[in-house]
């Protein structure tokens, strides 16, 4: 080889002159000489050294996969520990996972810088290298999140402030966030096809989970901040709590059978007031005679507190109830918590039996409904003027049970799961007057707002259907009602979509004589639940939809609702602002139409006797001309009413889209 590189050039090797390099980059000066030297040395030495390094890589690849698989097994063990809320055990699993991978990482480091660099760039080996690095980051995440501070959970919840625990968790999450982000970056560079086929599904799942975790951890951090604020981390919070009975269905989950006022300080309940007269006790201070919504005239032409939850958008109902409460008591609240009967039953299942000595009974999830309903509706309870005293006595005992569950590692996860399920099924609804906190609740649809669905782009058209039922006469007969909703979309002759909704309600109750029951409470319960059911059914559909016709078992309520003198009543400003263009359409079976919460509303009555069924059919033209061939691109947001599970079926012409119980909101394609 000659100094000018002619021999290399003769063999087809492109030679870069270091003189040209320095002339081209004068700015390097003396440093340029060193760079040129290193460059040339690298070209000559690297192939020699890389052979040795590659041998190490071949041996190491198998160990990377083996150790990573072992580490994943440890992570799965940690997950099992977390599911049982055994944080100490989870921490041990995370530690072993991290140590396993770190030992392997150190071995690669000892193999030399060149080996490490080459492993990161050589095809196939690079995937193993990035997999190892991702494992290290993930193990570190787990180790951080299951740290010693969280092991003191029991003591914090027993003696300390729950908000302090939330804030500790927030600090841990913020510490773990960069590790999750780094793990995601490493896993993006792992090519699944480089790995053995047997391990590919697990690694692919890991990639998906880490991708989701990068977004999830930010949501958790925001959750900690919002929940801390809601629970009174900085100042006392006062909340109006509404207990809704879905045996008598109302728009947000049931009739308000009881109410309470609760003061929270850093997550601890400092004061609880449960009026013995129930929600009716908050009527005494109402100074204005507001006219109730027309459908409520069957019950009371005056709009009172117990009927404040008339808006299907539960956020509006919460605002209205807070307004009525403030007018009645002169006190304001920081938000409204709504708890439906199914959520109470689930909490009782977890809490276990509660001894009510003064009433001679042990209350549990099995007898709570029948005993409580019969007691509070009894003549004696009504005559006492304190019909809900039993609930006032039960509430603090139930809260004690919940606080004990929070301090019990065997129960806390079950309680958290029960509350989470209640939020998803809308049997627990939360509203805050704090805009930042409420925005977070809306993002997760924890407040029961209509049309609130985080996964739908705001500008994208999507069909919408909410069927909302309010029983306006019928005792507690919704206990025996089974509801079925069938929605069929078809192409109209003018190219516009046409919606057809069939709402069928079946009364499965039957009136029986006292002799058929072993207890008076059971007989009383049968009497309450075997009443005829008169319901006001509202459909919330896309704005701009126009009603075509309404047929079927539409109830004629003229005999039940004689003309009333409303001269002494005033329209409610809040209702007038939220519900617009409300009118009755005589040519459409007296169906009511309106605009509310950004939707078109169609409503009418149905009366169902025990042992019978009724069905109403609504037909309307949707405000969209369908250009697609078939149902491609069609989406439907079907929203569940709190407190009720309907059998729901959706069709696009002859294509079945959905058929199941509507247990939560569904986006249907």
Q: What's the pLDDT at 156?
A: 59
Q: What's the pLDDT at 109?
A: 61
Q: What's the pLDDT at 8?
A: 35
Q: What's the pLDDT at 27?
A: 34
Q: Is 346 exposed, middle or buried (0-12, 13-18, 19+ CB in 10 A)?
A: buried
Q: What's the pLDDT at 331?
A: 94
Q: What's the pLDDT at 151?
A: 47
Q: What is the pLDDT of residues 211-262, one digit of tens each?
A: 877 877 887 788 888 889 999 988 999 999 999 999 999 999 999 999 999 9
Cβ-based neighbour number of residue 669 at 10 Å: 11
Q: d(Cα 608, Cα 628) in Å, to the nearest integer?
A: 41
3-class DSSP assignment, residue 258: strand
Q: Where are the alpha helices (DSSP H) in 444-486?
A: none
Which of the 8 DSSP states describes residue 659? Answer: E
SS3 track for 288-314: CCEECCHHHHHCCCECCHHHCCCCCCH
Q: What's the pLDDT at 579?
A: 97
Q: d(Cα 583, Cα 305) in Å, to the nearest integer?
A: 25
Q: What's the pLDDT at 549?
A: 97
Q: What's the pLDDT at 455?
A: 59
Q: What's the pLDDT at 320?
A: 98
Q: Which sequence spans correspond to the domains of the chain?
A: 53-230, 237-443, 463-668
pTM of the model: 0.80
Long-range contacts of 451-460, Cβ-Cβ distance < 8 Å, separation of 24 or more: 451/597, 451/598, 451/599, 451/637, 451/639, 453/637, 453/665, 453/667, 455/667, 456/635, 456/637, 456/667, 460/635
3-class DSSP assignment, residue 643: coil
Q: What's the pLDDT at 565?
A: 77
Residue ranges of the chain with per-residue pLDDT less than 70: 1-124, 139, 142-143, 145-160, 409, 453-461, 629
């Amino acid at each position: 080889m000659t100094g000018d590189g002619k021999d290399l050039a003769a063999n087809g090797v492109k030679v870069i002159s270091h003189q040209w390099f320095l002339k081209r980059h004068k700015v390097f000066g003396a440093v340029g000489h060193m760079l040129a030297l290193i460059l040339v040395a690298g070209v000559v030495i690297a192939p020699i050294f890389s052979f040795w390094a590659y041998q190490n890589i071949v041996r190491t690849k198998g160990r990377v996969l083996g150790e990573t698989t072992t580490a994943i097994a440890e992570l799965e063990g940690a997950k099992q520990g977390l599911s049982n809320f055994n944080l100490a055990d989870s921490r041990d699993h995370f530690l072993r996972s991290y140590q396993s991978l770190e030992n392997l990482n150190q071995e690669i480091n000892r193999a030399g810088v060149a080996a490490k660099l080459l492993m990161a760039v050589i095809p196939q080996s690079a995937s193993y290298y990035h997999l190892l690095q991702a494992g290290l980051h993930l193990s570190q995440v787990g180790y951080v999140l299951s740290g010693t501070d969280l092991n003191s959970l029991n003591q914090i919840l027993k003696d300390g402030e729950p908000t302090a625990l939330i804030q500790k968790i927030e600090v841990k999450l913020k510490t773990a966030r960069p590790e999750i982000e780094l793990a995601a970056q490493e896993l993006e560079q792992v090519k699944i096809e480089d790995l053995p086929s047997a391990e590919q599904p697990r690694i692919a799942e890991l990639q998906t989970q880490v991708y989701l975790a990068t977004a999830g951890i930010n949501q958790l951090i925001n959750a900690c901040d919002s929940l801390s604020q809601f629970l009174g981390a900085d100042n006392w919070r006062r909340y109006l709590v509404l207990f809704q009975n879905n045996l008598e269905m109302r728009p947000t989950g049931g009739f308000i059978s009881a109410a309470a006022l609760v003061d929270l300080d850093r997550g601890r309940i400092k004061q609880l007031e449960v009026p013995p007269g129930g929600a009716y006790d908050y009527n005494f201070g109402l100074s204005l005679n507001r006219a109730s919504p027309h459908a409520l005239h069957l019950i009371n032409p005056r709009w009172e507190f117990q009927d404040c939850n008339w808006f299907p958008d539960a956020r509006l109902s919460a605002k209205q109830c807070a307004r009525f409460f403030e007018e009645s008591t002169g006190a304001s609240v920081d938000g409204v918590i709504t708890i439906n009967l199914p959520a109470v039953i689930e909490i009782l299942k977890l809490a276990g039996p509660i001894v009510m000595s003064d009433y001679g009974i042990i209350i549990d999830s099995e007898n709570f409904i029948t005993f409580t309903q019969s007691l509070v509706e009894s003549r004696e309870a009504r005559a006492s003027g304190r019909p809900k005293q039993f609930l006032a006595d039960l509430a603090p005992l139930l809260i004690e049970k919940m606080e004990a569950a929070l301090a019990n590692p065997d129960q806390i996860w079950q309680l958290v799961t029960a509350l989470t399920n209640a939020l998803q099924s809308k049997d627990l609804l939360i509203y805050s007057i704090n805009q930042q906190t409420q925005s977070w609740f809306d993002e997760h649809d924890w407040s029961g707002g209509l049309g609130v669905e985080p996964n739908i782009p705001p500008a994208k058209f999507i069909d919408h259907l909410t069927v909302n039922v309010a029983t306006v006469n019928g005792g507690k007969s919704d206990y025996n009602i089974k509801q079925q909703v069938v929605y069929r979309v078809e192409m109209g002759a003018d190219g516009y979509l046409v919606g057809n909704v069939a709402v069928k309600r079946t009364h499965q109750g039957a009136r029986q004589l006292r002799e058929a029951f072993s207890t008076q409470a059971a007989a009383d319960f049968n009497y309450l639940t075997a009443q005829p059911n008169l319901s006001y059914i509202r459909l919330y559909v896309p704005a701009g939809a126009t009603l075509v016709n309404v047929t079927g078992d539409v109830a004629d309520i003229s005999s039940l609702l004689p003309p009333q003198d409303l001269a002494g009543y005033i329209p409610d400003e809040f209702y007038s602002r939220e519900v617009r263009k409300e009118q009755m359409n005589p040519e459409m079976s007296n169906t009511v139409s309106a605009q509310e919460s950004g939707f078109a509303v169609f409503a009418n009555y149905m009366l169902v006797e025990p042992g019978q069924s009724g069905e109403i059919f609504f037909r309307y033209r949707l405000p969209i001309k369908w250009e697609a061939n078939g149902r491609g691109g069609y989406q439907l947001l079907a929203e569940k009413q709190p407190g009720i599970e309907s059998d729901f079926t959706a069709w696009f012409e002859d294509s079945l889209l959905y058929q199941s119980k509507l247990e939560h909101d569904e986006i249907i394609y």
